Amino acid sequence: MWEEIVGHRDIIISLQNLLQRSQCPHAFLFLGPQGVGKFKVAETFAAGILCHEHEAPCGKCACCQAVRQGKNLDLMVIEPDGANIKIEQIRALKHQAAMTSYSGYCRVCIIDGADRMTQEAANSLLKLLEEPPSNFIMILTAVSQNKILPTLQSRTIIYKFQPLVYDQLLTILTARGFDKQQAAANARISGGSVGEAIELFDPEIASLRRTALAMLTTVPQGLDSIWEQAQLIDKLDNRHAAFILKFLVCFVRDCVMLNLGSAYQEFIINQDVKNEMQDICTAWTKEQCVCAYDIIKEAHKALQGNANTRLVFESLLIQLHDILQGGNIVCQL
């Protein structure tokens, strides 16, 4: 089963070594960006703990098959119920942890999104970690280390997952049958997250990419067009608005590459819409693109800080318009 995982070789080797020992630590914390495969590694490690074959996890026995299908009764998975993991879920886990395993061997629990536990849930889990039942192993996954109680962290073995590199992502996406050219663009835009790269194939998200491209085309047309664009953004939620900013950053970065000349063409992320970007570049100089890049990054930060979506986009579009008008925005070049 390990061979099905792309990347994270050092972590996998370390976990394989642990599986060969008779004693396994009782708690792990897998930290790393969203969508890089932390859960997949946790699930495979769990199969390795539960599988009775010599080369565990074998991937073939009834136990491994049940893990794959999410039906192994000795593997519990807890994930956020709505926005958070709630105390009731941890209470139910404690109840189950006190019971003997179905196979008479060991039980494993994966808490996926441990950084989204409520304070009460985290405190309750801490008690379980302080006095772990025998033959009970917990694997926590989290994106933000600073949202995990230090007292909880200190009772776990921590593994830090890195974003996947472009080639690894492309391998995963093409193996799943996605269109190669679109997969190449999505692999680069996603910044190393399989989850996000796959999300980018969603037609709704893909349409936001067209919106971002249209926005850059609109800016040179004047303020009336900008207000129209801002009204469209008003209807989007924060997550979708963040996607537009992410796409804008990529497009503007590519415009810089296009402006730098043919030697940089291979570094262009959005190869599939290169012609449209060529048109945008007729209105935007390299220096203006660099300025725009900084301003869009700032807008992204403001949105992450929960600023009002419409105001962020209005301000952004006006600033971009000002750049094209040779306005007084100062950028570091």
Q: What's the min distance (Å) between Cβ of 63 and Zn ion?
A: 5
CB 173 within 8 A of CB 198: yes
- Output 60 or 127, the one with its CB closest to Zn ion: 60
| Max Cα distance, the chain (Å) | 74
Phi/psi at 221 (nearest 5 deg)? Answer: -80, -5
Site of tokens 């993991």:
85
- Output 10 or 55, the one with its CB closest to Zn ion: 55
Cα(190)–Cα(248) distance, integer angstroms: 13
Cα dihedral: 251, 161, 149, 74 (round 10): 120
Q: What's the min distance (Å) between Cβ of 61 and Zn ion?
A: 3
- The interaxial angle of helices 238-260 and 180-189, nearest 10 deg, is 100
Residue nearest to Zn ion (CB): 51
- Output 58 or 77, the one with its CB closest to Zn ion: 58
Token pair for 75: 């593997």
Q: What part of residues 32-51 is at the interface with Zn ion (CB under 5 A)?
A: 51
- Output 51 or 117, the one with its CB closest to Zn ion: 51
Looking at 19, 61, 143, 318, which residue binds Zn ion (CB under 5 A)? 61
- Output 4 or 81, the one with its CB closest to Zn ion: 4
Which residues lie closer than 8 Å to 54 by C-beta, 6 or more apart?
none
Q: What is the DSSP letter of 161?
A: P
Q: What's the min distance (Å) between Cβ of 229 and Zn ion?
A: 55
Q: Which stretch binds Zn ion (CB under 5 A): 55-63, 152-160, 305-313, 322-330?
A: 55-63
By CB under 5 A, residue 53 contacts Zn ion = yes
Q: Which of 169, 202, 205 is nearest to 184 (CA)?
A: 169
Beta bridge partners of 109: 76, 138
Q: What's the min distance (Å) between Cβ of 55 and Zn ion?
A: 8
Q: What is the DSSP letter of 317?
A: H
Q: What part of residues 253-292 is at the interface with Zn ion (CB under 5 A)?
A: none
By CB under 5 A, residue 58 contacts Zn ion = yes
- Output 58 or 307, the one with its CB closest to Zn ion: 58
Q: Which of 257, 4, 19, 309 is nearest to 137 (CA)?
A: 19
By CB under 5 A, residue 4 contacts Zn ion = no
Amino acid at 292: A
Q: Which stretch binds Zn ion (CB under 5 A): 14-22, 29-37, 53-61, 168-176?
A: 53-61
By CB under 5 A, residue 87 contacts Zn ion = no
Looking at 31, 42, 64, 111, which residue binds Zn ion (CB under 5 A)? 64
Count, residues near Zn ion per rule CB under 5 A: 5
Q: What's the min distance (Å) between Cβ of 279 and Zn ion?
A: 56
Cα(53)–Cα(259) distance, integer angstroms: 58
Which residues lie closer than 8 Å to 124 by C-beta, 6 or more apart?
87, 90, 91, 94
Please tell me whether the peptide bond between 33 and the residue prior to it is cis, using omega within 30 degrees of 0.
no
Q: What's the min distance (Å) between Cβ of 47 and Zn ion?
A: 7
By CB under 5 A, residue 318 contacts Zn ion = no
Q: Which stretch binds Zn ion (CB under 5 A): 63-71, 151-159, 166-174, 251-259?
A: 63-71
Query: Footprint of Zn ion on this chain (CB under 5 A)?
Result: 51, 53, 58, 61, 64
